[in-house]
Structure 1
Amino acid sequence: MDAKLSHDLVGIEGVLTRTLDHALDVLDRIDERPAALAPTPVTPQPLPEHGLGFDSAFDDFQKRWAPGFSGSAGARYLGFVTGGATPASIAGDWLTSVYDQNPTAGIDSAAPDLERETIARLRELFGLSNAQQGVFVSGATMSNLVGLAIGREWLGENCPNRVDISEHGVGMLPPIRVLSGTPHSSIYKALSVLGIGRRAVQKIATLKEREAVDLDALETALERFEGEPVIVVANTGTVNTVDFDALPAIVELKSRYSFWLHVDAAFGAFAALSPDHASLTRGLDGADSICIDLHKWLNVPYDAAVQFSRRRDLQVRVFQNSSAYLGVPTDNPDFVHLTPENSRRLRALSTWFALAAYGRDGHAEIVRRNIALAHRLGRMIAEQPGLKLLAPTRLNVVCFTLAEQPDEARIGAYMLAVRDLGDVFITTTVYAGTWGLRVAFCNWRTGERDVDRIFQSLVRALG
């Protein structure tokens, strides 16, 4: 065994103790770390011929890289709809690496069954029926890709000459129409990967001053494309204004028109945990496939998302891996037959710990608090000269802009000015043709004092 590796094996307690001490110091001082900061150049170092050993490697990390890491785990990192990591989920993530399970197949470990239990608990959390079969993937983009891939297979099954797309390819279908009011950018990416193409998206008119799809316009499009392969992508929480499509009405359209209904509920699904907003998620169970991102509002470490579908048989047809040592799919298929990955880490463990430790009530409290904080900041911005809301604060995202000349250059400069103050990180967007900014509340640590500090920073950045 290599001498440095042998040394670290014998001294594993010291390795983990030093790592723990550093982790505790980072978390204890997370409030002091800039929410975000401009990356500073770091001179790349070549691969060492002879390893440094853990202690020297750790010294190098602390000196060259750690100072440039943002406070993204903290209370005021409010860009990209990013959660933090709760204590129990951090423990689960550490144990994921310690146990290093590959839950590909169920012949050597109980790990796949832990994932199945976690999926069942998530179904309960979101009020879904057992018809929705789930699997863990890396994030919302992969969840959307998997759902759309199953939808692509369904289109082949329902075309006049019944084509097995997984065997013969998407070229056997006529052009696919993807209808959506406000599709997330990851939908376009997934369609590109799947060979359907970004131009397959047909944007449907939205309601006035809303991001929710106009149901009459959607039905008109379904009538126009009747008999053609169609996927409808509905939104349960848009990124700019957290608007919700009327899912019950869209599900009802399935009784009259043939289409695959995929719902992008990346973070909006968590509205189900708020009594005042749970009605927004009604109809979610009627979807054919669902995307929910867990490293957003569930506050588990990257990367973790769940993908639900009613057609596990088609999912297996798309993703099955034919190999003697992996076996054939059964009625309870191994995960190797359900996602693009073969090897995969037990990313369900962090979620299992989070759900077990804090339950429905703990996560519902985070959701309710974040919503209340977003509304509070929205009211403060509405009353501040120099700033104005671009849309009502519906859930946990505040969408606003500069009161004067909100063009790309000024908005970009303002975002950087806010970032460089170090108190809060927000991201830019375009809403209804106007450049603006988004403040997305998802972090379990965020409280009222943080909102005061955030607002003060937004005002200071005005100059």
Structure 2
Amino acid sequence: MDLFNLPRTFTGGFVTGTTMANFSALAVARQWFGTQLEQDITADGLINLSLPVISATPHSSVLKSLAMLGLGRNNLITIPTLSNQREAIDVAKLKLFIEYNFQHQPFILVLNAGTANTADFDAIAEVMELKHTYNCWIHIDAAFGAFAACSSQYQHLLNGWEMADSIAIDCHKWLNVPYENACFFTRKEHFKLQFNQFKNSNVPYLENQLENFNFMNILPENSRRLKALPVLFSLLAYGREGYRYIVDNSIDLAQEFGNYIRKSRYFELLAEVRLNIVCFKVTAACDTAEFLQKLNKTGLVFMTPTTFNHEKGIRAAFVNWRTTIEDIKLVYSLIENIINSK
């Protein structure tokens, strides 16, 4: 909590990745929705219930979670973004939609704190004002964007997130711990919902544990590794100041690389560099897919393909604590060699 500047009004648990973090948080949200209509979904299922989930540009793991929870990928209600160059929700259109459709009904809203393509952030503080007027559960997918809280310049992007009902965070990205490690937080006032969602029932040999605090009763898995251990060691090793450096260094390098792309006649940014991701396309010499294949084939750098605003692009994400300006200079050299070889 201290690393993310979150109050002690949250409780949490470790899971395998952001997919399970989003799944777990939305499972608790589903149980909350049922209680608003006096129905126990964990006991009785989704009987005659249509559960509205709203978002703008949710990660695929959110859609996968909706599918696993029986809510349906295709039932997500999509609100437009601010523009074609943004992935952030248009709050004005969101408010109009809610006012017209859900003025007196409960609903679930999924926000982004760092989209996968461009690291864009929804206007969290502004959206949280909805909680004063409407009956809603607000979940934040903050897989890597949560670590903006460690930054000296970008922590404002998370203003208001302490009012969220649940948050999903990926530890194997900016926390740089081994793969298969994430966590989710829910407000302590929702603990009973979380317990009812995940508790073990009809197991005599666990009977003495059911009413006591036990992680097998508040998380999806009964059997699980101690995923908190590498996180603990990393926090002890680097501390708040260490992670502040790691995050700020990643952002600075992303800005540096973004400036290079912006000035080059061979490339074009598909979106502004908002945090640690540079999303761009090739405009000359060779097509984007061919260029990316040659770049990754060097074995010295790895970027991923993406599509943004219906255009094929390249995604360069900066999260590794070992990346330095010398690595960026190496990328420049590789890029120039590929371009000049045409």
User: Shorter chain as normaliser: what TM range?
Assistant: over 0.9
1:277-300: CA deviation from partner (whole Å, max 9, x where unpaired)? 111111111111100000000110
1:452 maps to a residue whose letter is K
Q: Are residues 1:196 and 2:71 paired? A: yes
1:231-270: CA deviation from partner (whole Å, max 9, x where unpaired)? 1000111111111111111111011111110100000010
Q: Are residues 1:163 and 2:21 paired? A: no
Q: Are residues 1:140 and 2:18 paired? A: yes
Residue range with higher mean Cα deviation, 422-431 or 439-448: 422-431
SS at match of 1:190: helix
Q: Are residues 1:127 and 2:16 paired? A: no
CA RMSD of aligned residues (A): 1.5
For 2:141, the equivalent position in structure 1 comes to: 264
Larger radius of gyration between Structure 1 and Structure 2: 1
Q: Are residues 1:320 and 2:199 paired? A: yes
**Alignment match of 1:362 (pick from 242, 252, 266):** 242
Higher RCO, 1 or 2 (CA under 8 Å, sep at least 6)? 1
For 2:86, the equivalent position in structure 1 comes to: 210
**CA 1:171–1:216 in structure 2 vs 1: closer, same or farther (change >3 Å)?**
same
1:194 maps to a residue whose letter is L
2:332, 2:301 → 1: CA distance? 9
Q: Are residues 1:335 and 2:230 paired? A: no
Q: Are residues 1:250 and 2:127 paired? A: yes
2:141, 2:338 → 1: CA distance? 34
Conservation of the 8 A alpha-carbon contact between 1:176 and 1:228 = no
**Alignment match of 2:184 (pick from 278, 291, 307):** 307
**Alignment match of 1:452 (pick from 326, 329, 337):** 329
1:270, 1:319 → 2: CA distance? 28
For 1:384, the equivalent position in structure 2 comes to: 264
Conservation of the 8 A alpha-carbon contact between 1:163 and 1:172 = no
Conservation of the 8 A alpha-carbon contact between 2:266 and 2:285 = no
For 1:177, the equivalent position in structure 2 comes to: 52
**CA 1:461–1:228 in structure 2 vs 1: closer, same or farther (change >3 Å)?**
farther
Residue range with higher mean Cα deviation, 205-214 or 360-369: 205-214
1:78-89 map, 5 Å: none
Conservation of the 8 A alpha-carbon contact between 2:14 and 2:183 = yes
1:386, 1:232 → 2: CA distance? 40
2:101 maps to a residue whose letter is F
Q: Which runs of 5+ in 2 are unaligned?
A: none
1:396-448: CA deviation from partner (whole Å, max 9, x where unpaired)? 10110011599xxx433322211111121100111112111110000010000
Q: Shift of residue 210 of structure 1?
A: 1.5
2:87 maps to a residue whose letter is E
1:380, 1:319 → 2: CA distance? 49
Q: Shift of residue 340 of structure 1?
A: 1.2
Conservation of the 8 A alpha-carbon contact between 2:107 and 2:135 = yes
Which is strand-richer, 1 or 2? 2
For 1:71, the equivalent position in structure 2 comes to: none
Conservation of the 8 A alpha-carbon contact between 2:171 and 2:177 = yes
Q: Are residues 1:403 and 2:283 paired? A: yes
Q: Shift of residue 458 of structure 1?
A: 2.7
Conservation of the 8 A alpha-carbon contact between 1:135 and 1:307 = yes
1:354 maps to a residue whose letter is S
SS at match of 2:233: helix
SS at match of 1:124: coil
SS at match of 1:296: coil
Q: Shift of residue 230 of structure 1?
A: 1.7
2:60, 2:337 → 1: CA distance? 32
Q: Shift of residue 385 of structure 1?
A: 2.0
2:157, 2:89 → 1: CA distance? 14
Identity %: 43
1:427, 1:333 → 2: CA distance? 42
For 2:273, the equivalent position in structure 1 comes to: 393
Q: Which runs of 5+ in 1 are unaligned?
A: 1-122
Q: Shift of residue 354 of structure 1?
A: 0.4
Q: How many residues align?
A: 334
Q: Are residues 1:421 and 2:298 paired? A: yes
Q: TM-score, normalised by structure 2?
A: 0.94
For 1:236, the equivalent position in structure 2 comes to: 113
Conservation of the 8 A alpha-carbon contact between 1:316 and 1:329 = no
2:57, 2:131 → 1: CA distance? 20
1:277-292 map, 5 Å: 277-292=154-169
**Alignment match of 2:29 (pick from 132, 151, 156):** 151
